[in-house]
Amino acid sequence: MVSGDPLVGRDAVSGKEKWARPGVTIPGAKLITGGGTLYVASAEYDGDVVSLDPATGKETWRSRLGKGYEQPCPVAADDRHVYVLAGILEEDLSSPTNVIAAIDATSGKIAWREQRDKGAEEFGITAAVVGGRLAYTDFRKNVTVRDTTTGRQLWMKKIGRSNYYRFALHENLLIVPDGQRLRAFALAAGTECWSLANEKFTWFNDPQVVDGVLYASDSAYGMWAVNPGTGKQIWHNKDLVGSAAEAWQFAKVGGALYGATEHDKNGGVHAFDAATGKLRWTYNDNTGENQKWYVIATGKRLAAMHAKRLYALPAV
């Protein structure tokens, strides 16, 4: 599925369009999936959250928190709920405070809503759900975990560096980049379980756990593989300066690890040896588009997106 107007679902093997829904959501909207359902914010800016069948693109329900809330934004979903953020509208139409809420995945009814602390931002939110816990980070450098059944905040931690794209989850751990360190917190209690330090003045980019291994790049063009349960280094490749850009998002097929990068003349989609971190090849479309790349694995192919182009690459 590709976010745009229309919202389009394509066959991963042939690239042929399977369905298209014009006017269902805003171009570039987050596509939130959970429990086999796709959730998007309405294109009408009317406060609706729209539930769709991802196989057909057909709408199953629409829901809203109420007239007193600014445009809700879905941030995460699981089998039971879709979780949304929305500003609380004041009489002057400002929204200095906001709520996080859960909408029932079957009925579209509100399961719970909790007001966040005053000053907590609605934007820059990265969220994920695991084991009955909703975890999210924000531009104010907070890590917050809530109970998915009640919405009750379980704990909140300050970190020293904003989390821009993602954090990693592994079993009962939440792993965030915090400047020169990767830090793992227990989801249940928020206690720090391990910390991995990088070299001085070198910060970690956002990590991702793939097939039980945590992968992350850093600002010195290094690539890391780490045991996500213990924080112990598996390998650290320092030989990528001048040959590779910093990867921010990963996929894996067999023994190959693929990394999508920000715009860079040495960027695009990198293929690494998953066992050693050695760079195998880089694909770049040479369009010069100043937008980041995305990559996902689908069978023996990779789907890669850059600006307004979607590519199928062999996973070799």
Provide the residue-wise pLDDT of the chain in tens; the chain has 316 residues.
Answer: 888 889 999 998 899 999 999 999 988 888 999 999 999 999 987 889 999 999 999 999 999 888 888 878 999 999 999 999 998 888 777 778 889 999 999 999 999 999 988 767 777 889 999 989 999 998 878 899 999 999 999 999 988 766 667 899 999 999 999 999 999 999 999 999 999 999 999 999 999 999 999 999 999 999 999 999 999 999 999 999 989 999 999 999 999 999 999 888 889 999 999 999 999 999 999 998 989 999 999 988 999 999 989 999 999 8
Specify the pairing of strand 59-63 against strand 213-217: unpaired
3-state secondary structure the chain: CECCCCEEEECCCCCCEEEEECCCECCCCCCEEECCEEEEEECCCCCCEEEECCCCCCEEEEECCCCCECCCEEEEECCCEEEEEEEECCCCCCCCEEEEEEEECCCCCEEEEEECCCCCCCCCCEEEEECCEEEEECCCCEEEEEECCCCCEEEEEECCCCCCCCCEEECCEEEEEECCEEEEEECCCCCEEEEEECCCCCCECCCEEECCEEEEEECCCCEEEECCCCCCEEEEECCCCCCCCCEEEEEEECCEEEEEECCCCCCCEEEEECCCCCEEEEECCCCCCCCCEEEEEECCEEEEEECCEEEEEECC
Q: Which candidate, 298, 302, 299, places its Cα nearest to that of 281?
A: 302
Q: Are 287 and 309 contacting, i.e. CB atoms less than 8 angstroms apart?
A: yes
Q: Which candidate, 257, 186, 185, places its Cα nearest to that of 217?
A: 257
What's the burial of 139, exposed, middle or buried (CB within 10 Å: 0-12/13-18/19+)? middle
**Encoding tokens for residue 261?**
């990068």
Q: Which candidate, 297, 308, 281, 201, places its Cα nearest to that of 249?
A: 297
Q: Are 149 and 131 contacting, i.e. CB atoms less than 8 angstroms apart?
A: no
pLDDT at 272: 97
